[in-house]
């Protein structure tokens, strides 16, 4: 499989030309925001001088080729990033990225979360949850004209539908190749579009996971904090069918053979060392309007913190009395805690940087330099955004009611699938086409390992109880009829639904899935009957959203063109906001000065584990780790400047959510670290880059090597990675 390099040769759009002007301006001001940027690989040749001056020893032009090392070894893993580290498909990612895999294989009697796991051989590797995927990018092509061709001149829903239909056509043509998953990525907020081709690996297996007390040492107390002392890594293995093609789990599958894999460095970094990170950051919002910045700080983040607190409390209350519930909801609870703390940190950081005030002033200056006609379009953009804001609380609560439930979500998905199955496949809603059936099936199969009826009712009671208190303008008649208008009516409705449903049984879900995919009537189940009443309301909201989104797709490029011109004038970089596609950032190991008279060095050691250890969760370092530290056998993995075993290190790399598990490379492209967190002061970087505070936190690969050699030994895996010297 070869990458089509059409993207690099395509005629640049108006905004792309402005972005190139920004790169030229950046080259002239190499030290202004030099470490800011989540760059598309195709942009890196234009940063040749900056990369070389920063210390990169390779040829930046080779980084534009996604089929060549080192970038072809970097993969999308679950909700984060990973990288191949052996010729036999070993994938290195974070413990927290693979936490769902670990939880899926855990029971109260065999708790791999607490105990960790080391597969003695290939036969001992444990299947991941059926909906876990690893995606290997094999193509990246510009398709802007194809996507926007029939949309030009249209507005609102018509604009959205034209872009949606063209994108689906691009995907359908791309996926004629078996085993390939394709998507269309929106760059520069509706200005440019790219076709992404990815090999979809569906059989992943758990190979090595440290105990929770290493992989999540410090838990929420240390989350987003520096200094850190966490071994946040896990090894999985990707398998394919005997024919070498992607396949679902089967006993006779064989390890996937990647085109290349990363080599773990034998030496480690030090302060000032060059570092480069490649990964799949989720979503950033740095090019949003001043009004959107204000809403994020004044409403969205405070609201998210409040509701996440309530959901966390509901799960923890159930888990105190029920060990099975604790295990079933361990992954969901960790995700909620992480998202809650992230929202609080983002709020704190945006206020600290005065992002709202700075963005407003920047936008005012930009608008003064913008043509009058474009300013009218930008006023229309503000009006569309205000329409969406009017229903923001309802949309937050109902969205969480789906995402934080298992059975209710399953019922809604099955009913929507039944409806979509009656349409020609190209006309079906994205997520319900034939290409999506395997993922839907995998999601439905894993439900019983993450579901407890009492916990789900508690979560829905909290969310729908808040919904009941909304003003009438935000209410939906279908939801009011289903759940009532009072807490007592809601509790009674939930109790009746969950007492009567059979969807907690995998066989019942699979039977409903078989009917839904054929467009046939679903079984007479209370939750499925509820879904039949609620889905029409969801469809109505979806229609409204698509009309707004069509206008946003039409109007945001005007804003981006104005911003690109303004950034070029300022000599500042303009890279597209992150959107789940492969990006590269570069910088160095750098100390942090978060407050007056406080300076943090960029390396931590095992001495910090002993200082933090209390014997109680979350600072309960396991005895084998304490014993190994006491022995002091750090030969081959010690840091010369520390005189002991390093654990984590700090860089100024530009990262956000989704970069968890991203490999950190040295000047020669060797693996020196594994990204797993940001510091508290930089959580707001998804919206605002502040070079004073932006840092990323990584597992030092010397710590991983030492753990796998001296603490929880896996000599066969070290040999496989070429680390047995």
Helices and strands (H, E) in the chain, number of each type:
27, 20
What sign for the dihedral angle of Cα 317, 319, 321, 322? positive
- State the first-to-last Cα distance of the chain, in angstroms, to the nearest integer: 34
Q: What is the dihedral of CA 99, 101, 102, 107, to 10 degrees?
A: 120
- What is 22-71 written as a DSSP string? HHHHHHHTTTSSTT---B-GGGGGGGHHHHHHHT--S-GGGGG-TTSTTG
Tokens of 2: 């070869």
Q: 28, exposed or middle or buried, with CB in 10 Å at 0-12, 13-18, 19+?
A: exposed
CB 384 within 8 A of CB 555: yes
**Among the options 95, 96, 613, 698, which is catalytic?**
96
Q: Please, what is the Cα angle at 255 between 252 and 256, to 5 degrees?
A: 125
- What is the spatial distance between Cα 125 and Cα 118, in angstroms, rounded to a whole number? 8
Pair type for strands 671-678 and 583-588 = unpaired
Q: Which residues contact 448 (CB under 8 A, 6 or more apart)?
A: 504, 505, 506
- What is the spatial distance between Cα 361 and Cα 277, in angstroms, rounded to a whole number? 32
Helix extents (H) in 121-239:
144-148, 156-174, 212-215, 219-222
**Among the options 88, 131, 141, 232, which is catalytic?**
232
E-strand ranges in 401-535 read: none
Q: Does 460 sit behind a cis peptide bond, omega within 30 degrees of 0 on the bond before it?
A: no
- What is the spatial distance between Cα 244 and Cα 233, in angstroms, rounded to a whole number? 27
Taking residue 725's Cβ as centre, other Cβ atoms within 10 Å add up to 7
- What is the spatial distance between Cα 675 and Cα 241, in angstroms, rounded to a whole number? 31
Catalytic residue status for 96: yes
**Among the options 106, 213, 405, 660, which is catalytic?**
660
CB 452 within 8 A of CB 430: no
Indicate the length of the chain as a whole number. Answer: 725
Q: Which residues contact 378 (CB under 8 A, 6 or more apart)?
A: 367, 370, 555, 558, 559, 562
Tokens of 276: 């480069």
- Residue 544, classed as helix, strand or coil, is helix
CB 612 within 8 A of CB 241: no
CB 413 within 8 A of CB 440: yes
Tokens of 334: 């960790």
Residues facing residue 639 across a β-bridge: 644
- What is the spatial distance between Cα 709 and Cα 645, in angstroms, rounded to a whole number? 13
Q: Write out the catalytic residue numbers.
A: 96, 232, 660
């Amino acid at each position: 499989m070869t990458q089509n390099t059409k993207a690099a040769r395509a005629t640049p759009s108006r905004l792309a030309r402005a972005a190139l002007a920004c790169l030229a301006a950046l080259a002239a001001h190499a030290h202004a925001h030099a470490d800011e940027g989540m760059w598309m690989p195709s942009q890196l040749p234009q940063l040749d001088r900056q990369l070389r001056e920063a210390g990169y020893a390779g040829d930046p032009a080779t980084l534009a080729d996604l089929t060549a090392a080192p970038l072809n070894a970097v993969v999308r893993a679950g909700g984060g990033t990973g990288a191949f580290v052996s010729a036999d498909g070993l994938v290195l990612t974070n413990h927290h990225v693979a936490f769902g895999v670990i939880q899926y294989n855990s029971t109260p009697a065999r708790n791999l979360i607490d105990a960790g796991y080391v597969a003695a051989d290939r036969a001992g590797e444990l299947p991941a949850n059926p909906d876990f995927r690893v995606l290997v990018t094999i193509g990246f092509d510009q398709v802007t004209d194809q996507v926007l061709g029939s949309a030009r001149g249209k507005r609102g829903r018509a604009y959205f539908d034209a872009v949606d239909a063209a994108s689906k056509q691009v995907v359908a043509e791309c996926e004629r190749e078996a085993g390939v998953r394709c998507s269309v990525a929106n760059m520069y907020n509706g200005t440019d579009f790219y076709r992404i081709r990815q090999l979809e690996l569906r059989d992943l297996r758990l190979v090595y996971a440290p105990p929770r007390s290493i992989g999540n040492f410090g838990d929420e107390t240390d989350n987003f904090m520096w200094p850190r002392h966490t071994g946040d890594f896990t090894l999985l293995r990707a398998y394919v069918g005997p024919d070498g093609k992607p396949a679902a789990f089967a006993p006779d599958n064989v390890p996937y053979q990647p085109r290349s894999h990363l080599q773990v460095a034998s030496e480690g970094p030090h302060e000032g060392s060059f570092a480069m990170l490649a990964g799949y950051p989720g979503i950033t919002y740095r090019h949003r309007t001043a009004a959107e910045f204000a809403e994020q700080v004044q409403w969205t983040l405070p609201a998210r913190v409040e509701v996440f607190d309530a959901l966390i409390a509901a799960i923890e209350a159930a888990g105190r009395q029920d060990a099975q519930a604790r295990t079933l909801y361990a992954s969901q609870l960790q995700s909620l805690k992480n998202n809650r703390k992230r929202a609080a940190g983002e709020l704190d950081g945006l206020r600290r940087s005065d992002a709202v005030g700075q963005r407003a002033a920047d936008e005012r200056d930009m608008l003064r330099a913008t043509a009058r006609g474009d300013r009218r379009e930008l006023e229309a953009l503000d009006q569309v955004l205000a329409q969406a804001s009017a229903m923001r609380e309802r949309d937050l609560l109902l969205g969480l009611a789906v995402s934080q439930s298992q059975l209710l979500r399953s019922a809604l998905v099955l009913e929507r699938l039944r409806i979509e199955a009656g349409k020609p496949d190209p006309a079906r809603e994205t997520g319900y086409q034939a290409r999506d059936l395997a993922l839907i099936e995998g999601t439905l199969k894993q439900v019983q390992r993450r579901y407890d009826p009492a916990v789900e009712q508690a979560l829905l009671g909290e969310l729908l109880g808040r919904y009941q208190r909304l003003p009438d303008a935000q209410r939906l008649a279908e939801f009011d009829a289903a759940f009532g208008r009072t807490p007592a009516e809601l509790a009674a409705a939930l109790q009746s639904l969950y007492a009567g449903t059979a969807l907690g049984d995998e066989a019942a879900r699979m039977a409903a899935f078989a009917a839904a995919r054929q467009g046939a009537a679903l079984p007479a189940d209370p939750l499925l009957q509820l879904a039949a009443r609620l889905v029409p309301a969801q469809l109505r909201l979806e229609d409204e959203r698509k009309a707004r989104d069509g206008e946003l797709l039409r109007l945001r490029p005007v804003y981006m063109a104005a911003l690109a011109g303004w950034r070029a004038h300022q000599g500042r970089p303009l890279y597209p906001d992150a959107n789940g596609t492969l990006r590269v950032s570069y910088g160095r190991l750098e100390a942090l000065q978060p407050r007056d008279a406080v300076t943090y060095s960029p390396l931590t050691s095992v001495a910090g584990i002993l200082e933090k250890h209390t014997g109680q969760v979350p600072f309960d370092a396991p005895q084998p780790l304490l014993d190994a530290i006491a022995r002091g056998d750090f030969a081959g993995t010690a840091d010369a400047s520390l005189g002991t075993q390093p654990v984590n290190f700090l860089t100024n790399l530009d990262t956000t959510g989704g970069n968890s598990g991203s490999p950190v490379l040295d000047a020669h492209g060797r693996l020196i670290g594994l990204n797993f967190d940001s510091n508290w002061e930089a959580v707001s970087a998804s919206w605002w880059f502040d070079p004073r505070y932006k840092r990323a936190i990584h597992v030092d690969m010397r710590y991983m090597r030492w753990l796998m050699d001296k603490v929880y030994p896996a000599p066969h895996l070290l040999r496989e990675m070429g680390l047995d010297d």
